[in-house]
Amino acid sequence: MPDPDLGKDLVTLQMVKKVESDLAGVRLTVELTTPACPMKDKIKSDIEAAIRAAAKTANEPSPSIEVTFTADVRRANDRVREGANPLPGVRQIVAVGAGKGGVGKSTVSVNLAVGLARSGARVGLLDADIYGPSMPTMLGLEDIPTAARGNTLLPFEVHGIKAMTVGKLVDPDKALIWRGPMAHKAFAQLATQTEWGELDYLVIDLPPGTGDVALTMSQLLPLSGAVVVCTPQRVALDDARRAVRMFEQLGIPVLGIVENMSTFVGDDGRVYDLFGQGGAETMAATMNLPFLGALPIQPSLRIHSDDGVPLKNFDASAAQRAPLEHICGEVARRLAIASANRHLVQPTLSVH
């Protein structure tokens, strides 16, 4: 039964906290995100109708039904941070998201992971774009077999990082037509059943938009922050704002905005603003968010991605690698600030 506002079933949203059934009837406890939920009555009537329909199908008498509502006003990721961490060996988890596809989110994710590793950090990269995984190509994993130890997946160790992608676990020519619960299960297995070991950073490349995987992630992992990628044109900026609001609603700090495909420098040295310029920086300023940097259009970046050799992006000329290094440095700095803020304890003063 779906939540009337969120459009997902109550079990997937982890709103059903307790179910009891005996000769006296059926008793459920449902946890709402707000005690003033305007759809409370509809949720209750839908639950009652579903239980009575199930009883009728089983040729059982209609039971008495008692629905109790509680409320947890904390945001999803705030709840996770207070519970058990399924990845205790990972110090910082950062998601890379975008409001729409085609803005270079995976390019930023791969180069962010590789760039952080080049600075001496232990880094993992999780390709959570379960509908269109691109890491097999961008990391050159096509001919590398998958491996497991019991029920645990062994990550691919390439380019100085550990990586896992659903693209190596399914037929590469098969379309992944998955409903919400299947996407939820796939992400949970990739994230928690991979042998990551000790990591300083785990970078998660999310699917575009504001769908099931981001919600599952916020309910499962204690994220340190999120990076939002967009291009300069208006339509991409509008969608990027929605991605920012999604992370905020889930309790995930937004570390900042990256503008991809900002400019193109021709052979004549002239700078072309193919998609406009500076739109993401302006949006970041209006939303009071850090601007992490701009990536120009570089044919070499595309070539190295297609060839699965991201390290070559950092072996290029200083002018080519500087934007990537700047973004990696800014993300690391913002993660350090976010971590310090979370662990800051307000001192107390006792006067005797």
303 in any annotated domain: yes
User: Are 242 and 120 in a shared domain?
Assistant: yes
User: Are 224 and 179 in a shared domain?
Assistant: yes
Q: Give the domain CATH number at 199.
A: 3.40.50.300
How many domains are contained in the chain?
A: 2
Joined together, the tokens standing for residue 156 give 């691919």
345 in any annotated domain: no
pLDDT in tens, 94-146: 999 987 777 889 999 999 999 999 988 999 999 988 777 889 999 999 889 98
pLDDT in tens, 254-285: 999 999 888 777 777 777 777 767 778 888 88
pLDDT in tens, 217-248: 888 888 999 999 998 877 778 888 888 988 88
- Note down the domain range covering 23: 16-73
Angle between helical axes of 212-220 and 180-192 (0-180°, round to 10):
40
Last residue of a domain, one of 36, 57, 73: 73
Residues, the chain, total?
Answer: 352
Last residue of a domain, one of 55, 73, 91: 73
Using the predicted structure, report yes or no on whether residue 335 has a pLDDT greater than 80: yes
User: Are 166 and 215 in a shared domain?
Assistant: yes
User: Are 216 and 321 in a shared domain?
Assistant: yes
Last residue of a domain, one of 73, 94, 114: 73
346 in any annotated domain: no
User: Are 49 and 171 in a shared domain?
Assistant: no
| Alpha-carbon gap, residue 262 to 255, rounded angstroms | 20
93 in any annotated domain: yes
pTM of the predicted model as reported, rounded to 2 decimal places: 0.74
9 in any annotated domain: no
User: Are 219 and 333 in a shared domain?
Assistant: yes
Helix/strand/coil (H/E/C) assignment for every residue in 228-289: EEECCCHHHHHHHHHHHHHHHHCCCCEEEEEEEEEEEECCCCCEECECECCHHHHHHHHCCC
Helix%, strand%, coil% for the chain, nearest 5: 35, 25, 40
